[in-house]
Amino acid sequence: MENRWDPAAAAGFVGPVEECVYCTRLIGSEPALVLHGGGNSSVKASFDDITGRAIEAIFVKGSGWDMGSIEAAGLTPLRLARVRELLELDELGDIDMMRELDAARLDPTAPSPSVETLLHAFLPHPAVLHSHADVIVNLTNVENGAALIREVFGSAVVIVPYVMPGFDLAREVRRTFPQQAQAGTTGMVLLNHGLFTFGETSAEAYGRHVELITKAEDWLEEKAPTTAHEPPGLPDVEPTEIAELRRRVSEAAGAAMILSRSTDLATRRFVSRADLASVSQRGPLTPDHVIRTKPFPLVGREVERFVSGYRAYVDEYRDRARTELAVLDPAPRIIVDHELGLLAAGHTAKDARIAADIYRHTMPVIERAEDHLGGYRALDAAALFDMEYWALEQAKLSMRGPVPEFAGMVAVVTGAASGIGRACAEALMAHGACVAGIDIAPGVGGAFTGESWLGLVADVTDSAAQENALKETVERFGGVDIAVVAAGVFGPSRLLDGLSMEEWRDVMRVNLDASADLLSSLHPLLARSPVGGRVVVIGSKNVPAPGRGAAAYSASKAALTQLSRVAALEWAEEGIRVNLVHPDAVFDTGLWTEELIAERAGRYGLSVDEYKRRNLLGAEITSTDVAAAVTALCGDGFRATTGAQIPIDGGNERVV
């Protein structure tokens, strides 16, 4: 392990709490040490209250803070004497423990402290760092894990058998630590859990973390070198196969799910194993992962078989629950398949990515243990159930806020780099959807940030490029539920007798031909949507009220309207609804320039502001107004509407 301590950077972190922040970041920014919430840190230091009195305190990583980017506010100060008093109790339930820890906070605005606070408070060292290092669990998740840890580290570490985090674990450490700790002890290994190191300072605890993990890496590299063979490639898979699998996973979950695919080298090697069905079912690296991945993945594509197995697992162990059981949905979160590779499911793109990250770290650990260390062995199903249905996790279910309207849904928006398309993409994401935005503009990739956005550069008139964009969308998100056809061009403003056929065809290719091609390609994906496909086509006021000098634009939008009506007729029996909006005078789009607006206003003898508001309501229409209508049409409020045409024009005398 690289020692990333930088004296120059560390000089900016003055005092024990700030030094703990710096060392926590060093640990937390290493995915092989800390993965999505695993790990914590603490330092015992003085806390000066408002009266100036110094109180002996422990500053512990608070809930909700990421170790890789933590600030001092993320270390919760607690009265150390009070926390240690709790260790004297014979029993303390998880909910009661967290209530007492919250009450012991010296700053009531600080976050709830780590569930392992009692353990940190007991350890007789000022600074403590904890990680779930891959190489440590690679040594512990085998038949003789304790013996292997002792062989690698000797007396440098205390070895603690697995116990659920919280009061029981702290009591076990209190019992075990004095029996094993010696003058040269620098760390502690919790079997099937991770590594603790400690010291007089956080810097010393960090240095010991580096030392012990490096020793584990060197031992594994010598005794159990990683497999390096090139696995076979995976066959081409039709996007509809992934979309169909996503539909079944979503039905099992009772809600739309994101399904993200990985086909990297480590994945291909793992799914090509002859013993995949066996090794994949032996449990996660640490029980904490079960919250994200379920206790075991689905092997293959029989979602119904997984659901039956998960329900049987819950039924077998439900009597172990310490509170009233709120049964989680039975849908798989990880799927491993000889042809598809690794697929990770989640209610959001972030959830799916976290599950995938965890399993990408799991696969090489399983392989190494299975091939070189006598076999991979994780905790049994009963212990995993205890974690998955832990009272503290169950309590979180009741605190969840409302689910966004389009959570778990996937939208495709063309023309997404600017104007109406961009506004639609933004609105859909604001309502919880993942959005793949397609545009010819190179900047579409950076139009938005976040895991719910996928910007794809493609010319919609290039059928192959558009098809590849849809394939990429399915690989990233699993399918398509919503489509907004917004890409369009106006073309030169010419009277009909001055319009060239080349100009005519250019407009038709973008506004009509590309849209027909897109709808044709989208249909099999929309038909497999777990929530019913929803399509909104951006038409134009020029359909019912064409304008002079806009023959190609008006005709293309009229033809697009008819095309959309036919799609509504043909696709209704599959639950796909197709509607149109007809905007007018939306001037914050790429179709309009300041010069063109001024020229048009002058033609009517109006000021620019008057021209923008020349409708019955006197309203200026924006892309956001159009996006609001589009979003509404995609929602359940219009579940019984298809083939509709809605004007977004402030009221037009030629249309009303």
User: Which CATH number belongs to the domain containing residue 494 in this structure?
Assistant: 3.40.50.720
Q: CB atoms < 10 A from the CB of 323, how many?
A: 14
| 444 is a domain residue | no
Based on the residue annotation, tell me whether 376 is a catalytic residue of this protein. no
| Spatial contact of 385 and 295, defined as CB atoms under 8 Å apart | yes
268 and 219, same structural domain?
no
User: Which CATH number belongs to the domain containing residue 383 in this structure?
Assistant: 3.40.225
Q: Could you tell me which of 388, 345, 408, 363 has the C-alpha nearest to residue 272?
A: 363
How far is residue 478's CA from residue 471's CA, in Å, rounded to a whole number?
9
Residue whose token pair is 């209704």: 572
Q: Tell me the CB-side half-sphere exposure of residue 548, using CA atoms within 13 A.
A: 4
Phi-psi region of 252 (alpha: psi -120 to 50; beta: other; left: phi over 0): alpha
| Spatial contact of 287 and 383, defined as CB atoms under 8 Å apart | yes
- Residue 120's domain spans which residues? 7-223
Q: Name residue 269's beta-bridge partners.
A: none
298 and 243, same structural domain?
yes
| Spatial contact of 80 and 43, defined as CB atoms under 8 Å apart | no
363 and 503, same structural domain?
no
Cα-to-chain-centroid distance, residue 201: 35
| 403 is a domain residue | no
3-class DSSP state of 646:
strand
How far is residue 21's CA from residue 141's CA, in Å, rounded to a whole number?
30
What is the pTM (predicted TM-score) of this model? 0.94
Chain length of the chain: 656
Task: Give residue 541's pLDDT.
Answer: 95
3-class DSSP state of 554:
helix
Domain end (from 196, 223, 250): 223
245 and 181, same structural domain?
no
| 12 is a domain residue | yes
Domain end (from 154, 188, 223): 223
| 142 is a domain residue | yes
Task: Give residue 380's pLDDT.
Answer: 95
Task: Give residue 592's pLDDT.
Answer: 81
| Spatial contact of 533 and 524, defined as CB atoms under 8 Å apart | no
Cα-to-chain-centroid distance, residue 110: 26
Q: CB atoms < 10 A from the CB of 295, how many?
A: 23
Sheet of 127-131, strand order: 75-79, 54-61, 40-48, 127-131, 194-199, 187-190, 157-160
| 156 phi/psi in degrees, rounded to 5 | -70, -20
93 and 205, same structural domain?
yes
Structure tokens at 131: 């990680």
Domain count, the chain: 3
In what helix (H) or strand (E) does residue 18 lie, and over which residues does it extend? Answer: helix 16-28
560 and 592, same structural domain?
yes
Non-local (6+) Cβ contacts of 399 within 8 A are: none
Task: Give residue 603's pLDDT.
Answer: 85
Structure tokens at 621: 């229409």
Sheet of 334-337, strand order: 258-262, 341-346, 334-337, 298-299
Q: CB atoms < 10 A from the CB of 475, how many?
A: 18
How far is residue 282's CA from residue 287's CA, in Å, rounded to a whole number?
12
364 and 491, same structural domain?
no
**Residue-by-residue DSSP string for 137-190:** HHHHSBTTHHHHHHHHHGGGEEEE----TTHHHHHHHHHHHHHH--TT--EEEE
Task: Give residue 386's pLDDT.
Answer: 96
Domain end (from 349, 364, 398): 398
Q: Which long-range contacts (CB under 8 A, 24 or more apart) does 142-146 make?
A: 142/369, 142/373, 142/374, 142/375, 142/376, 142/377, 143/374, 143/375, 143/377, 144/374, 145/191, 145/192, 145/377, 146/191
Query: Which parts of the chain sit beneath pLDDT 50?
Result: none
377 and 511, same structural domain?
no
In what helix (H) or strand (E) does residue 23 lie, and over which residues does it extend? Answer: helix 16-28
| 51 phi/psi in degrees, rounded to 5 | -85, -5
How far is residue 643's CA from residue 549's CA, in Å, rounded to a whole number?
28
Q: Euclidean distance between the first and final Cα of the chain, in Å?
A: 72
| Spatial contact of 74 and 41, defined as CB atoms under 8 Å apart | no
163 and 104, same structural domain?
yes
User: Which CATH number belongs to the domain containing residue 146 in this structure?
Assistant: 3.40.225.10
| 448 is a domain residue | no
3-class DSSP state of 470:
helix
| 654 is a domain residue | no
247 and 172, same structural domain?
no
Q: Which of 206, 310, 317, 553 is catalytic?
A: 553
215 and 298, same structural domain?
no
| 339 is a domain residue | yes
Q: CB atoms < 10 A from the CB of 258, how many?
A: 29
214 and 244, same structural domain?
no
Q: CB atoms < 10 A from the CB of 625, how many?
A: 19
Distances (CA, A) of 635 to 318, 433, 532, 536, 640: 37, 11, 11, 11, 10
Residue whose token pair is 């992962």: 289
Taking only the tens place, the pLDDT of each residue in 539-552 is 999 999 998 889 99
| 452 is a domain residue | no
| Spatial contact of 158 and 191, defined as CB atoms under 8 Å apart | no
